[in-house]
Amino acid sequence: MDLVSPPSPAPVDDGAADHLPGRAVPRVALASTAGEMIAIDALGTGRTVIYAYPKIGRPGTASPEGWDSIPGARGCTPESCGFRDNYGELLNAGATRVFGLSSQEIDYQQEAVERLQLPFEMLSDPTLKLANDLGLPTFEAGGSTLYKRLTLIVRGGLIEHAFYPVFPPDEHAQQVLGWLRANPE
């Protein structure tokens, strides 16, 4: 008998990202899975998509206790695969770069990039520097502070748009693609 996980509860818009559109990104450099430091404030004039997620699961590793009952926690792998599968279309629609972002350590993310065959870099923010500087929403699970799922469109050092809350995560790349197409530069 196959066990199917119950649907993840949908997150509620608590207003935690309302302050982001129009805000300048801080001078923060984060380690990428390509072995570089990426300066968030120096991404250039094109649109950069940065999708933040709580924690990509690893085969054979249990999720934190209560994970399935936390609104918006589940779905990081399907969300990342959605960005992978729509990567070319996102670039064609005006994104110059796409990054995943979490508080997971870089080696953990590197394994996910390889396993999921992601064509873009992941950024690691284990000290939550970007979250603290921008006031990004987070939550506690399994003794760790994790990013709540949200996506930023950054252009010319400013946050042009913020998607929050993000649900369902497996359809989110299509939502971002639709926004890019509806808002050409």
- List the chain domain ranges: 28-182
Q: Residue 30, Cα to own-chain centre: how many angstroms?
A: 14
Q: For 101, left (φ over 0), alpha (ψ -120 to 50), or beta?
A: beta
Q: Candidates 1.10.150.20, 3.30.43.10, 3.40.50.300, 3.40.30.10; correct CATH number of 28-182? A: 3.40.30.10
What's the predicted TM-score (pTM) here? 0.95
CB atoms within 10 A of CB 114: 10
Is-contact 35 168, C-beta < 8 A? no
pLDDT tens sequence across 34-73: 999 999 999 999 999 999 999 998 888 888 988 989 999 9
pLDDT classification of 143: cutoffs 50, 70, 90: very high
- Main-chain phi, psi angles of 179, to 5 degrees: -65, -45
Q: How far apart are the first and last CA of the chain?
A: 50
